[in-house]
Amino acid sequence: MAKISTLTSTGKNRKLYVKKYTYDFAVDTGAQGTYEGASTDLIPQGAEIVGLFVHEVTTLTSGGAATIAVDLECGTTDVAILAATAYNSAPFASAGGYVASVANQSNILTADGYFRMTVATADLTAGKINFYISYIY
């Protein structure tokens, strides 16, 4: 976790953190399904999700109309971060660009959460993406 700044909220000193998760076709394959971050690499209960930044390092490709969704698995509750989005649409439309995107801002986690990326509709055939999830804790 990288400390970016210090914030004061409701009488508590809270900080802004960013977690980086990487999907790499060369390592993870691109089959339809769910790709999970390590269960030990958690965003803590009580954290407030404030954003998602996507860096497409290598252009994504698909033999069909693949979609990508991002969420956090928090016990029995999933917190949607990015709804299912076509692999060739924003924020995945151009390699090298950072795009701020978040489906649901100001989500406060009710349990520790870990990263999940879901590929659906068709397989990915190439690409590498860094996802940066920012949260206040």
pLDDT for 103: 55
The mean of the pLDDT values for the chain is 86
pLDDT band of residue 21 (cuts 50, 70, 90) is very high
CA-based max dimension of the chain: 52
Q: CATH number of the domain at 18-136, out of 1.20.950, 1.10.3470, 2.60.120, 2.40.30?
A: 2.60.120
Beta-carbon count within 10 A of 81 CB = 24
The token pair that represents 109 in the structure block: 């986690």
Domain boundaries, the chain: 18-136
36 exposure class (CB count in 10 Å sphere: 0-12, 13-18, 19+) = middle
Helix (H, G, I), strand (E, B) or coil at 34: strand
pLDDT band of residue 14 (cuts 50, 70, 90) is confident
pLDDT for 69: 93
